[in-house]
Structure 1
């Protein structure tokens, strides 16, 4: 049965399976058949657009980054080959496939019984983010049930973090009652919340570095298209420092400037198409919520509505937002330089650097688009992540090669910067593979305490995050009641 599921998913792929899921959910939300079909088609078109753009741009970025590495003459033994190998290995392991089937059932049940207010099945493609950790655990321990338990536990705290940031995410990205719920990207909620008071003490909130401010101050050069060209020019120069006298180097530099400008121009357009798949669903959720509030005679605002729930959407919805893509692109050269300078680091981030806009979405939403804070949080969190991916390199390399992913010729150790550079995930993984009941029990206890706090104090948590967001200026941090 599991093999059939694997072959079925490979045959149709995310661009077919996800739209079908969106279509079914739309019908369940009582959307007209025509709108349900349109939502599904928009989802497929958006995912196809993302895969085309990233598929074409990834080799270009990879080549530029490798040139930067060659210029520095610093060699790091652990090479980032992208998240795709990890996703492939996840579907090649018994634990991964088991979670893909039973995890989906669990996501329905967790939502139905009220453990979470996030409907995760709408974003089932990102389940590989849970599957990869279970796969790694099974490779190390050969304990099927412990590995499944780890994958389910990561699902639990991912749903918790997704709900914590849901009000901010849906408000910032302007799709009511939605949130992102990808295990590989949601943990950035942790540093975004914990470090925000520190950044305010350092007055980073007073630095109005937002897309709106950049456009006001820089005019034409503050628009994403122009910024893309400028950033592409700078990154291209860094990659060609040793051969700036060669006209061919300038050909590559200028081509990369245009290519990056194109990505920062086209991605928001594809993002807008993709978002159309979810907006009718989100509006239906909001309409049904308002009807229930009116019928009950309760005038509670949206932030106080304890029954308010959220649709999990793919983080591609936010990729093209100006602050998100600008912050992510700025972090590309920064993380390469940090990888060189960080004492004890062995990881060279390469292919997954294009995923940085995905990786910073939660930070962008919580800091209300303050680009300086996004970069500061990214530097701290992803630097810790480099140590994590370095430590996990032997396990990750062994697991993905064992479960069917190809290792590039001449490379000894590999990683995925997007999947493995996750301090919190790595910490939980360490506790579970120790097979020590005390450490595992501590993880579960902390989760239960946080879940209790969220269920009891959710409005207060959301109001706090709104107040913190308001200190940064930028977009309107509130949400219409």
Structure 2
């Protein structure tokens, strides 16, 4: 068991920019891509992922301090700190059950494909931490390896099915041919957010409200371009944080850079993915006929190549803080996961074809529910992190929007309590 854990941890420590090309190269060879072409595609994808991570880091390092400044300026006092997905992931990997889950989940994914339960081959090994977290939470509550493994498998199955059901809108809106998003947080938020957004689109007074990036650009000219949208939204967030003029301008330029650079990084990554996707489709068509297809499951970070997704996520940063303060029953102070809100709304934005107004309203409703779930999740979330990561000074409990505010995790947490009551 220790040897398995060491191998898994060694692979994970290489990070997504190394893991992903290795997985892509192997899959490309399986789908009969010539070795030289497979290597070129894999390396292109790896470099594209490096670029995406650099831009995400630019987003995170700017939004985090701005959120902290807003909290300090407006005197928000909430007792549970949102420590963000990195801490949640570290806590998940720190549980005894984590070492065996990755190989189990890989095998389960392949079995589900063979049984035609799913069309998604989840090659985003790095984001398997969501499934591992589900299993880890189950282990903390029940101490049962059986139920922990079942929980992780159930979580993965839900994500694969949601990824399948949303693949068409993802491919159409984001231009990601042959791709689906089995990312745990995006799927959980989309599971609630997509039907909520649909209801909004049918509600009198709201259904006629429409603002996508193309419409905004057409109406406002240069001020409606994605770059300018990023500058304006970034400057507004900095102003709410009480930044001085220099800080506001710097924040605006950095967010404008995020809006301009991200689509270019995603386009680079897709240059490597398209040949493999086409080859996979050809191989499956020859073997199973026209009706058989497979989606490559990728990180929902690819969705940030769309200005509407980034704009929706950035607009929801101050809205999330406001909701947290006024929401009865909430004790979570959003912080660590604010920069990753664009990932959470990726499926919602795609389902509304980039309508920012409907996406922001739906996102706000889902985040309201997520804050209440994260509050309820705090005791177990804190237990998972104790002894693994350092908790914020002065905080008795911690949680996160990504894991604690995740509907799939919350349901499995309740099932864990039921398991304890029965067994």
Please state which band the TM-score falls in when normalised by the shorter chain: over 0.9
Corresponding residue of 2:119:
117
Looking at structure 1, the residues matched to 9 and 155 of structure 2 have their Cα atoms a distance apart, in angstroms, of 25
Looking at structure 2, the residues matched to 413 and 59 of structure 1 have their Cα atoms a distance apart, in angstroms, of 24
Corresponding residue of 1:270:
265
SS in 1 for 2:272: coil
Q: Would you say the 8 A contact 2:130–2:184 is kept in 1?
A: yes
SS in 1 for 2:398: strand
Corresponding residue of 2:156:
155
Structure 1 residues 278-427: aligned runs within 5 Å = 278-288=273-283, 305=291, 307-402=292-387, 404-427=388-411
Q: Would you say the 8 A contact 1:327–1:375 is kept in 2?
A: yes
Corresponding residue of 2:252:
257
SS in 2 for 1:79: strand
Q: CA deviation at 1:335?
A: 0.8
SS in 1 for 2:118: coil
Looking at structure 1, the residues matched to 230 and 13 of structure 2 have their Cα atoms a distance apart, in angstroms, of 36
2:127 matched to 1:143? no
Q: CA deviation at 1:251?
A: 1.7
Corresponding residue of 2:176:
175
Unmatched tracts of structure 1, length 5 or more:
241-247, 299-304, 441-481
Q: CA deviation at 1:117?
A: 1.5
CA offsets 1:143-170 (integer angstroms, 9 cap, x no match):
1211111111111111111111111111
Q: CA deviation at 1:288?
A: 4.2
Pair 65,141 (structure 1): closer, same or farther in 2 beyond 3 Å: same
Q: Would you say the 8 A contact 1:205–1:370 is kept in 2?
A: no
Q: TM-score, normalised by structure 1?
A: 0.82
Q: CA deviation at 1:238?
A: 1.0
Unmatched tracts of structure 2, length 5 or more:
none
Q: Would you say the 8 A contact 1:389–1:420 is kept in 2?
A: yes
SS in 1 for 2:180: strand
CA offsets 1:309-332 (integer angstroms, 9 cap, x no match):
211112122112111111111111
Pair 48,130 (structure 1): closer, same or farther in 2 beyond 3 Å: same
Q: CA deviation at 1:355?
A: 0.7
SS in 2 for 1:378: helix
SS in 1 for 2:391: coil
Corresponding residue of 2:83:
81
Looking at structure 1, the residues matched to 197 and 77 of structure 2 have their Cα atoms a distance apart, in angstroms, of 34
SS in 1 for 2:264: helix
**Match of residue 237, structure 1, among 239, 260, 270:** 239
Looking at structure 1, the residues matched to 12 and 197 of structure 2 have their Cα atoms a distance apart, in angstroms, of 41
Pairwise CA RMSD of aligned residues? 2.1
Q: TM-score, normalised by structure 2?
A: 0.93
Q: Give the ranges of 4+ consecutive aligned residues of structure 1 lying more than 4 Å apart after TM superposition.
A: 288-293
Pair 127,357 (structure 1): closer, same or farther in 2 beyond 3 Å: same
The size of the alignment, in residue pairs, is 420
Structure 1 range deviating more: 284-293 or 220-229: 284-293
Q: Would you say the 8 A contact 2:403–2:409 is kept in 1?
A: no
Q: CA deviation at 1:10?
A: 4.3
Q: Would you say the 8 A contact 2:382–2:398 is kept in 1?
A: yes
SS in 1 for 2:81: strand
Structure 1 residues 15-34: aligned runs within 5 Å = 15-34=17-36
Q: Would you say the 8 A contact 1:46–1:271 is kept in 2?
A: yes
Q: CA deviation at 1:290?
A: 5.6
SS in 2 for 1:162: helix
Looking at structure 1, the residues matched to 191 and 58 of structure 2 have their Cα atoms a distance apart, in angstroms, of 32
2:7 matched to 1:5? yes
Structure 1 range deviating more: 209-218 or 144-153: 144-153
Q: Would you say the 8 A contact 1:382–1:422 is kept in 2?
A: no
Looking at structure 2, the residues matched to 197 and 91 of structure 1 have their Cα atoms a distance apart, in angstroms, of 36
CA offsets 1:121-179 (integer angstroms, 9 cap, x no match):
x1221110011121122112211211111111111111111111111111211122220
Pair 205,276 (structure 1): closer, same or farther in 2 beyond 3 Å: farther
Q: Would you say the 8 A contact 2:194–2:347 is kept in 1?
A: no
Looking at structure 2, the residues matched to 144 and 289 of structure 1 have their Cα atoms a distance apart, in angstroms, of 36
Looking at structure 2, the residues matched to 136 and 291 of structure 1 have their Cα atoms a distance apart, in angstroms, of 43
Q: CA deviation at 1:256?
A: 1.0
Q: Would you say the 8 A contact 1:272–1:317 is kept in 2?
A: no
Looking at structure 2, the residues matched to 176 and 265 of structure 1 have their Cα atoms a distance apart, in angstroms, of 22
Structure 1 range deviating more: 83-92 or 341-350: 83-92
Structure 1 range deviating more: 271-280 or 131-140: 271-280
Looking at structure 1, the residues matched to 283 and 356 of structure 2 have their Cα atoms a distance apart, in angstroms, of 36
Looking at structure 1, the residues matched to 285 and 4 of structure 2 have their Cα atoms a distance apart, in angstroms, of 41
Looking at structure 1, the residues matched to 315 and 198 of structure 2 have their Cα atoms a distance apart, in angstroms, of 23
